[in-house]
């Protein structure tokens, strides 16, 4: 075995990738990412003490969310960038430790190895990267829970970074992230302690999604119901993918009046729903589908593609020179657009100049899709929705949020959506929607049968909507609502969304297409028995369990 990674849904045989990632991650990158996590835990070990003592260490907070985000599935495949970050992490760890010493804070004598490992050269970093595997944790259940917490915190890191880019930070979220990472360095931690930490992770998941919702809506307004063009125009264009709305804004400003159009891809689609972006006439539509179809769709897009975050599929040579990355994303051989300096915008001039030299996109489909049903828009529609529920015109809502992926078994979600009775409404968020968002499912009393709240982080909106309905119907328990959950997961942001839903007391969530490989049999049993978690079955069986019951 030359690597070990089981963080995403597509892991080999639903056990682990041990030679090369299905995602394309090489063993070197995988092991370096393990070491970056290891070093980040060391930073968090001291930063946790600093937060407990109310000593500020903003730079360590920033380092940890940036480092974790780089290790999310399909975000960063560039070994040199990961090595740079490992070196930075070691320096930051020592700086936090020094700050504690200057404040005369007692530092425990028996430090975990995460807090001491130092590699000075690239060669040493590569050698040490083989020591940082989660497999060093012998107990299967402890390993499982430590992984679950780490992956949840990785998801939080992504959302925290987007909020930070919009000037919003929350100390309590950082304090929790450091605590969680620091706790996972303990060799004496029990399963019960880890389960409690998992629950806490979910609660902070809600907090960071709320923070990001607030950052996005205060900067760009509340999403509104919007029809998005999926055809093309005749101008050269840039395709922007990922989740970062600040990058979206700066790209729109810098492309305005240049003759270059901008299209969204995959998780960037919801940018069209924000009022602030509607004023740009060159912001013309969405091109393509979920992330995993990019190899075909980037060929025909013809213009450059900007990744602001995951999900990158290692590009074909035929279009690799058109792929640009920024922020936490990276791919060796692709141009990386540097971070903002001193409050200035990122410089997108190179990608814009490149776009001007290339032909307009080739049309692959036409028409429109509709979305923009985040909490504010849905709450404005509360009266007709409540009337439709009371009259029986809407029997149930099914939350089908989460991620898409390339496995054939995900055709389940298209079939499930198609077979839903006419009186059931889908609530969605995340790239999972591409499995059914182009189906003609019609509407109920003017309410579309697919209500798309936005990106995976906008699952927060679905929670706000559920809580609002609970209040309107005067219910004691969120599980009494006519809402069922059939969630598709792929990467670690879906893990934090899942933990957030559990922390709110939501039960009987179906997860697919498979349950996470990192849940050991015992831990899986705990989730099944305590929360009614189930994996998907056949469409017909799940229709009976979730809808007909
Ligand atoms: Fe395998 Fe997923 Fe890890 Fe990639 S991220 S190496 S596909 S488990
Ligand atoms: Fe999709 Fe990668 Fe998760 Fe943000 S873009 S939901 S998979």
Centroid of chain to Cα 29? 20
Is the torsion defined by CA of 21, 27, 31, 33 positive or negative? negative
What pLDDT sits at residue 120? Answer: 86
Token digits for 542?
Answer: 């799940």
Q: Which residue out of 6, 17, 30, 154 has the highest number of ligand 1 atoms within 8 Å of its CB and is therefore the one to mutate?
A: 17
CA of 366 to the centre of ligand 1 (A): 34
What pLDDT sits at residue 131? Answer: 86
Torsion of CA 272, 274, 277, 282, to 10 degrees: 10
Model pTM score: 0.97
Q: Burial-class residue 467 by CB neighbours within 10 Å (0-12, 13-18, 19+).
A: middle
How distant, in Å, are the alpha carbons of 10, 246, 283 from that of 238?
A: 29, 16, 10
pLDDT band at 538 (very low <50, low <70, confident <90, very high): very high
Q: What is the pLDDT of residues 498-536, one digit of tens each?
A: 999 999 999 999 999 999 999 999 999 999 999 999 999
What pLDDT sits at residue 171? Answer: 97
Mean pLDDT of all residues in 272-280 = 98
Peptide bond into 513 cis (omega under 30): yes
Mean pLDDT of all residues in 327-352 = 96
Mean pLDDT of all residues in 12-21 = 97
Q: What is the pLDDT of residues 378-413, one digit of tens each?
A: 999 999 999 999 999 999 999 999 999 999 999 999
Q: Which residue out of 212, 216, 493 has the highest number of ligand 2 atoms within 8 Å of its CB and is therefore the one to mutate?
A: 493
Three-class secondary structure of residue 336 per DSSP: strand
Task: Give yes or no for residue 1 having a pLDDT over 80.
Answer: no
Q: What percent of the chain has pLDDT over 70?
A: 100
Cβ–ligand 1 contact at 8 (below 6 Å): yes
Centroid of chain to Cα 549? 32
How distant, in Å, are the alpha carbons of 6, 385, 545 from that of 534?
A: 20, 29, 11
For residue 408, count other CB atoms closer than 10 A to its CB: 7
CA of 290 to the centre of ligand 1 (A): 18
Three-class secondary structure of residue 472 per DSSP: helix
Which 8-state DSSP code applies to residue 549?
-
Return left, alpha or beta for 266; rule: phi > 0 is left, psi -120 to 50 is alpha, else beta. Answer: left
Name all residues whose Cβ lies below 6 A of ligand 2: 243, 266-267, 291, 310-311, 403, 430-431, 455-456, 490-491, 493-494
Helix axes 191-220, 492-503, angle to 10 degrees: 100
Measured between alpha carbons, how far is 25 from 347 in angstroms, rounded to an integer? 28
Q: What is the pLDDT of residues 164-215, one digit of tens each?
A: 999 999 999 999 999 999 999 999 999 999 999 999 999 999 999 999 999 9
Burial 473-503 (b: 16+ CB within 10 A, else e): eeeeebeebebbbbbbbbbbbbbbbbbbbbb
* Closest atom, ligand 2, to C-alpha of 241: 5
pLDDT band at 32 (very low <50, low <70, confident <90, very high): very high
Choose between 89 and 549: higher pLDDT: 89
CA angle 324–155–224, rounded 5-degree value:
75
Cβ–Cβ < 8 Å for 150, 181: yes
Cβ–Cβ < 8 Å for 328, 76: yes
Task: Give yes or no for residue 342 having a pLDDT over 90.
Answer: no
pLDDT band at 549 (very low <50, low <70, confident <90, very high): confident
Mean pLDDT of all residues in 534-544 = 97
Cβ–ligand 1 contact at 10 (below 6 Å): yes
Cβ–ligand 1 contact at 490 (below 6 Å): no
* Closest atom, ligand 2, to C-alpha of 242: 5
CA of 549 to the centre of ligand 2 (A): 31
Mean pLDDT of all residues in 276-291 = 98
Ligand that lies nearest to the alpha carbon of residue 405, given by its number in the listed order:
2
Which 8-state DSSP code applies to residue 256?
T
Token digits for 13?
Answer: 């045989």
User: Looking up tokens 């305005």, which residue turns up?
Assistant: 256
Alpha helices in 103-190 (DSSP H): 122-128, 140-165, 171-183
Return left, alpha or beta for 474; rule: phi > 0 is left, psi -120 to 50 is alpha, else beta. Answer: left
């Amino acid at each position: 075995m030359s690597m070990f990674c089981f963080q995403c849904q597509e892991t080999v045989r639903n056990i682990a990738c041990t030679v090369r990632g299905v995602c394309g991650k090489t063993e070197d990158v995988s092991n370096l990412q393990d070491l970056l996590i290891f070093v980040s835990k060391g930073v968090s070990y001291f930063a946790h003490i600093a937060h407990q003592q109310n000593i500020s260490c903003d730079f360590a907070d920033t380092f940890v969310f940036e480092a974790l985000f780089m290790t999310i599935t399909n975000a960063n495949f560039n070994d040199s960038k990961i090595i740079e970050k490992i070196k930075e992490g070691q320096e930051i760890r020592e700086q936090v430790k020094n700050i504690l010493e200057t404040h005369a804070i007692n530092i425990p004598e028996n430090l975990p190895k995460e807090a001491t490992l130092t590699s000075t050269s690239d060669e040493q970093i590569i050698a040490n990267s083989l020591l940082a595997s989660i497999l060093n944790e012998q107990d299967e259940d402890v390993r499982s829970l430590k992984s679950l917490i780490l992956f949840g915190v990785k998801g939080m890191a992504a959302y925290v970074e987007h909020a930070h880019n919009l000037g919003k930070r929350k100390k309590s979220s950082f304090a929790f992230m450091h605590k969680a990472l620091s706790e996972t360095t303990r060799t004496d931690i029990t399963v019960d302690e880890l389960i409690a930490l998992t629950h806490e992770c979910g609660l902070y998941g809600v907090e960071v999604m709320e923070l990001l919702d607030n950052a996005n809506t205060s900067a760009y307004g509340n999403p509104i119901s919007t029809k998005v063009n999926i055809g093309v125009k005749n101008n050269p264009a840039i395709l922007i993918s990922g989740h970062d709305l600040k990058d979206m804004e700066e790209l729109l400003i810098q492309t305005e009046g240049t003759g270059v159009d901008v299209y969204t891809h995959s998780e960037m689609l919801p940018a069209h729903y924000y009022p602030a972006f509607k004023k740009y006439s060159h912001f013309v539509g969405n091109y393509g589908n979920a992330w995993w179809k990019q190899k075909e769709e980037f060929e025909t897009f013809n213009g450059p593609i900007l990744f602001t975050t995951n999900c990158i599929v290692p590009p074909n040579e035929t279009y690799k020179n058109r792929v640009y990355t920024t922020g936490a994303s990276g791919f060796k051989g692709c141009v990386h657009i540097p971070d903002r300096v001193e409050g200035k915008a990122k410089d997108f001039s190179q990608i814009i100049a490149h776009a001007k030299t290339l032909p307009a996109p080739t049309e692959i489909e036409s028409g429109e899709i509709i979305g923009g049903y985040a909490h504010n828009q849905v709450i404005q529609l509360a009266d007709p929705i409540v009337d439709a529920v009371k009259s029986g015109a809407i029997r149930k809502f099914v939350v089908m949020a989460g991620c898409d992926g390339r496995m054939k078994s995900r055709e389940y979600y298209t079939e499930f959506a198609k077979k839903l009775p006419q009186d059931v409404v889908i609530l969605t968020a995340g790239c999972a929607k591409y499995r059914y968002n182009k189906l003609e499912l019609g509407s109920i009393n003017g309410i579309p049968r697919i209500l798309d709240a936005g990106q995976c982080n906008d699952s927060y909106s679905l929670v706000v909507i559920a809580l609002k309905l609970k209040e309107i119907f005067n219910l004691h328990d969120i599980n009494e609502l006519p809402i069922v959950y059939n969630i598709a997961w792929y990467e670690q942001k879906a893990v934090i969304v899942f933990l957030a839903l559990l922390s709110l007391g939501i039960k009987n969530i179906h997860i697919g297409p498979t349950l996470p490989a990192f849940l050991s049999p015992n831990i899986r049993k705990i989730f099944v028995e305590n929360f009614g978690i189930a994996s998907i079955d056949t469409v017909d069986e799940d229709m009976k369990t979730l809808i007909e019951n």
